[in-house]
């Protein structure tokens, strides 16, 4: 699993005046091979259009493309899989929609949810928020590095850590037991391209 898991969040891109395809291109050129597209409010056709743009950018690249929430649209778009929250469609139902061979990621926020994800259809377990985050409204309580360590002891499945992860603290998160770090807002830094930031992350996570 690639140690860097960027999330292309529609709201974040709109706020910064960045096009989906341009952002995806920067990530591709930086060496990103695992990413998620997240649009919590768009109509299905809007989400599909963005998914097609991202897929076109990554054509010919061996990349894992994950769509947030929408298993049906992930299938229609021909994407690698879907990521669901713990209150969304249950992973067993997601598997029925996706079929075999596609990836399911599940968000967890405490030990009980990690155990549940470990026992179910999830292919990877997202753990967080590790640190305080500003890109998610009504965020769950921070779990800290200790939460990552506990999750590592509870599952052999790949762990994706999310929430407030920066270039400065990413290595500590991996050292605590995460296989990958998911990042949204920290890919944007004044005076630097997102591609350069992504390259920095990958360099520090090697």
Whether 186 is catalytic is no
Residue among 185, 198, 145, 152 at smallest CA distance from 4: 198
Which of the 8 DSSP states describes residue 192?
B
Whether 157 is catalytic is no
Instruction: Classify strands 81-84 and 64-68 as parallel, antiparallel or unpaired.
Output: parallel
Residue 141 tokens, joined: 């309580």
Burial 40-57 (b: 16+ CB within 10 A, else e): eeeeeeebbebbbbbbeb
**Contact assessment for residue 54 and residue 25, using Cβ atoms and an 8 Å cutoff:** no
The catalytically annotated residue of 115, 136, 196, 204 is 136
The catalytically annotated residue of 80, 107, 186, 194 is 107
Whether 107 is catalytic is yes
Work out whether the CA dihedral 34, 135, 29, 98 comes out positive or negative.
positive
The catalytically annotated residue of 38, 152, 157, 199 is 38
Q: What is the set of active-site residues?
A: 38, 107, 136
């Amino acid at each position: 699993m690639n140690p860097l898991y960027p999330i292309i969040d529609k709201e974040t891109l709109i706020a910064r005046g960045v096009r989906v395809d341009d952002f995806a291109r920067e990530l591709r050129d930086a060496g990103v091979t695992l990413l998620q597209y997240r649009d919590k409010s768009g109509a299905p056709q809007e989400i599909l259009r963005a998914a097609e743009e991202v897929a076109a950018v990554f054509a010919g690249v061996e990349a894992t493309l994950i769509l947030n929430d929408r298993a049906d649209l992930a299938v229609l778009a021909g994407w690698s899989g879907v990521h669901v929250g713990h209150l969304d469609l249950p992973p067993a139902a997601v598997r029925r929609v996706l079929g075999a061979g596609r990836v399911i990621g599940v968000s967890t926020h405490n030990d009980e949810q990690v155990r549940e994800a470990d026992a179910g259809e999830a292919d990877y377990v997202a753990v967080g928020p590790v640190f305080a985050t500003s890109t998610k409204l009504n965020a769950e309580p921070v779990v800290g590095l200790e939460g990552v360590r506990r999750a590592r002891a509870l599952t052999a499945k790949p762990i994706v850590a999310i929430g407030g992860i920066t270039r400065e603290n990413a290595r500590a998160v991996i050292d605590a037991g995460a296989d990958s770090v998911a990042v949204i807002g920290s890919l944007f830094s004044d005076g630097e391209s997102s591609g350069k930031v992504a390259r920095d992350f990958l360099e520090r996570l090697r």
